């Protein structure tokens, strides 16, 4: 999809294009048991309306990628019952300069959760729990593909809200709606149903870690790239069991 065509779609469905980040207090339905102890949270529901993407490293810290629009810097992610701390959110990705007046430019709709020490699943940091889609291992040789490497028709998988879904890439372009305060140079649209609670969840494209759930276009998935987001946040994707 060209940038112009993406913008046209956004204007038509502006009422729903922002549903992923306007409603924060609504929790997803009951979830199946998590994998491991401490459990793998990558790929699963994370906190409130946020889902988790992939484990990564920022210096000495182990982090989980999520969405820049669903939790602000310093927010504390709690367990569903409120008795334990999963971690603290860091800043969202953003560009140092922006040529869109009045907007924030960002490579991807990404932030990260600094994982609490007692919640780090050592030995499984290169895994993603896709629920009914199975636990996936990120091979050491794999690196996230960039925006221009995603083919139309590629298979897309998500598990935000702990509900596994699949579809295909439909269109690719820029996200530049007058109603949206953030400009993303790369937004991919896929025929996968999304709703509140999916934001920040892992997106696999042809089985490869690729993106972060960002927007809803008429109920269909809009996601932004992982590789560019990792770079902007200074993160390194975990591709070994202990991320070393």
38 three-state secondary structure: coil
CA 84-38-30 angle, 5° bins: 65
As beta bridge partners, residue 77 has 87
For residue 144, pLDDT over 80 is answered with: no
Confidence of residue 139 (pLDDT cuts 50, 70, 90): confident
Indicate whether 243 belongs to any domain.
no
Tokens linked to 114: 């600094």
Residue 33 covered by a domain: no
195 within some domain: yes
- Determine how β-strand 182-193 pairs with β-strand 104-105: parallel
> Residue 174 falls within a domain, yes or no?
yes
- CATH at residue 126: 2.40.10.10
**Does residue 128 belong to any structural domain of this protein?**
yes
Span 53-97, pLDDT tens digits: 999 999 999 999 999 898 999 999 999 888 899 999 999 999 999
- Judged by phi (left if over 0) then psi (alpha if -120 to 50, else beta), residue 131 lies in left
Q: How far is CA 79 from the centre of its chain?
A: 19
244 in any annotated domain: no
The first and second tokens of residue 193, run together, are 């149903």
Domain with 215, as residue range(s), is: 3-26+38-237
Enter the pTM of the model: 0.87
Q: Is residue 31 part of a domain?
A: no
User: For the chain, how many structural domains are there in total?
Assistant: 1
Answer whether residue 170 is part of any domain: yes
Q: Is the peptide bond before 225 cis (omega within 30 degrees of 0)?
A: no
């Amino acid at each position: 999809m060209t940038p112009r065509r993406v913008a046209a779609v956004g204007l038509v469905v502006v009422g729903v294009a922002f549903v992923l980040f306007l409603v924060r207090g609504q929790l997803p339905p009951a979830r199946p048991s998590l994998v491991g102890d401490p459990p793998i949270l990558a790929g699963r529901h994370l906190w409130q309306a946020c889902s988790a993407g992939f484990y990564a490293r920022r210096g000495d810290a182990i982090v989980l990628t999520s969405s820049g629009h669903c939790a602000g810097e310093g927010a504390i992610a709690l367990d569903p019952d409120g008795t334990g701390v999963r971690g603290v959110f860091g800043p969202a990705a953003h560009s140092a300069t922006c040529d869109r007046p009045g907007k924030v430019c960002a490579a991807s709709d990404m932030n990260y959760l600094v994982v609490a020490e007692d919640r780090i699943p050592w030995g499984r940091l290169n895994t993603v729990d896709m629920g009914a889609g199975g636990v996936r291992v990120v091979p050491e040789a794999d690196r996230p593909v960039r925006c221009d490497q995603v083919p139309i028709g590629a298979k897309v998988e998500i598990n935000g809200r702990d509900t596994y879904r699949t579809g295909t890439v439909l269109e690719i372009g820029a996200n530049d709606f007058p109603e949206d305060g953030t400009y993303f140079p790369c937004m991919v649209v896929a025929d996968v149903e999304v709703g509140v609670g999916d934001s920040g969840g892992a997106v696999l494209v042809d089985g490869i870690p690729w993106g972060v759930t960002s927007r809803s276009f008429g109920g269909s998935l809009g996601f932004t790239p992982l590789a560019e987001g990792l770079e902007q946040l200074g993160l390194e994707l975990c591709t070994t069991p202990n991320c070393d």
